[in-house]
Amino acid sequence: MKQYKCHKISEGCAEAEAIVSGDHIMFYLMEPETGRVIENAHDLEGKTIAKKILIFPGGKGSSVVQADGLFQLNMHGNMPVAMIIQFPETVLVSSAIIMEIPMVDKVDPAFYQDVKDGDLVRVDATNGVVEIL
């Protein structure tokens, strides 16, 4: 197990499989019914973020499509269980807080070198800790 310090954005704890994106994410370009990324040529195209720890640089697109995309995923029960973001922005932060999704940033840079798709990750935003189990 490896442990890394982080900064809490939205409190809570979650443990799940990691899905890592090198690309910024537009939540509007996901199927709400499955959580599958449908954006052409995206790093995660064809993969699902549902019930996973989503690790990504940040969001893209207007605030309206970001908030609506997250809302639609939430309505279908296909949100990530936690989000680790490198470049948080107001709409994603407020959406995570409102939808009670643990979100952290400022994770030790070594984490991004160590974590891989499919790793079991625990996010304890409340205590400022991320672990690769």
| Predicted confidence (pLDDT) per residue in 18-29, tens digit | 999 999 999 999
| Predicted confidence (pLDDT) per residue in 93-119, tens digit | 999 999 999 999 999 999 999 999 999
Asked if 62 is an active-site residue, the reply is yes
Phi, psi of 40 (to 5 degrees): -60, 135
Query: Are 132 and 84 within 8 A, CB to CB?
Result: no
Distance CA 55, CA 27 (A): 13
Annotated catalytic residue within 62, 63, 94, 95: 62
Q: Does pTM surpass 0.85?
A: yes
Residue with tokens 């989000």: 83
